């Protein structure tokens, strides 16, 4: 969590769900996990983010039925980047619900993500390279651009239909 909080983009997040560590006061080195997050909790955080239920103690709102149009963030506007076994359920969940998932592998370890590709459990796979102009960066930027365009189209579609129905109702009343 501290790593994410130390990045320039942290200010854009309403809430950060991540593992935390206890640090040695003198050396400032991580000495013990303070909070570990397993695969079940990871999927729960996906639901929390989608519903806008960021308070981890609010189980009632989390478990209430929430129609897609009332969600804080639609699944189709989520990207999950995973690099381990505990990320597979979230990657599968988002892919199934219209979001995007990217499985990362380290150099020489393509075999670890091969089953995910073969089983169709992810949208993309690439080397865990976080540098500028990497394949990962290019894919994420394209996904975000695509999501923005699709949201604009959905808004336009909704407005166009509303105008059409309003005009049709006015004509039928005359």
Report helix, strand or coil for 47.
Answer: helix
pLDDT band of residue 40 (cuts 50, 70, 90) is very high
Residue 157 lies in a domain: yes
In a domain, 21, yes or no: no
The two three-digit tokens of residue 95, written as one number? 């892919």
| Share of residues in the chain with pLDDT > 70 (%) | 99
User: Could you list the residue range(s) of the whole structural domain that residue 115 is in?
Assistant: 37-173
pLDDT tier at 165, thresholds 50, 70, 90: very high
Write the DSSP symbol of residue 128: -
Which of 93, 114, 61 lies closest to 103, judged by CA?
114
Question: Averaged over 78-105, what is the pLDDT?
Answer: 95
Beta strand pairing status for 79-82 and 30-35?
unpaired
Domain contains 25: no
Mean pLDDT value of segment 102-106: 96
State the Cα–Cα distance between residues 160 and 148, nearest whole angstrom: 18
* Domain count for the chain: 1
**Token pair recorded at residue 9:** 């983009």
* Residue 21 pLDDT: 92
- Please check the confidence at residue 171 and state whether its pLDDT lies above 90: no
Q: Which two tokens stand for residue 46?
A: 């996906």
- Mapped onto helix, strand or coil, the DSSP state of residue 12 is helix
For residue 56, tell me if it sits in a domain: yes
Supply the mean pLDDT for the chain: 93
- Please write the tens of the pLDDT for every residue from 52-74: 999 999 999 999 999 988 999 99
Whether residue 170 is predicted with pLDDT greater than 90 in this model: the reply is no
Mean pLDDT to the nearest integer, 32-53: 93
The tens digit of pLDDT for each residue in 25-35 reads 999 999 999 98
Indicate whether 6 belongs to any domain: no
Residue 91 has pLDDT above 70, yes or no: yes
* 148 occurs within a structural domain: yes
Query: pTM of the full predicted structure?
Result: 0.84
Residue 28 included in any domain:
no
């Amino acid at each position: 969590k501290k790593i994410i909080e130390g990045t320039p983009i942290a200010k854009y997040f309403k809430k950060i769900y991540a593992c935390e560590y206890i640090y040695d006061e003198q050396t400032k080195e991580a000495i013990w996990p303070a909070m570990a997050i397993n695969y079940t909790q990871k999927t729960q955080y996906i639901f929390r983010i989608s519903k806008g239920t960021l308070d981890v103690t609010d189980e009632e709102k989390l478990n209430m039925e929430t129609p897609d149009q009332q969600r804080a963030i639609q699944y189709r506007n989520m990207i999950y980047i995973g690099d381990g076994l505990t990320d597979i359920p979230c990657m599968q969940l988002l892919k199934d619900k219209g979001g995007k998932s990217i499985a990362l592998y380290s150099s020489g370890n393509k075999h670890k993500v091969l089953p995910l590709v073969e089983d169709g459990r992810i949208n993309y796979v690439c080397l865990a390279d976080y540098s500028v102009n990497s394949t990962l960066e290019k894919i994420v930027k394209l996904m975000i651009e695509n999501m923005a365009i699709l949201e604009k189209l959905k808004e336009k579609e909704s407005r166009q239909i509303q105008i059409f129905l309003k005009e049709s109702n006015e004509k039928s009343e005359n």
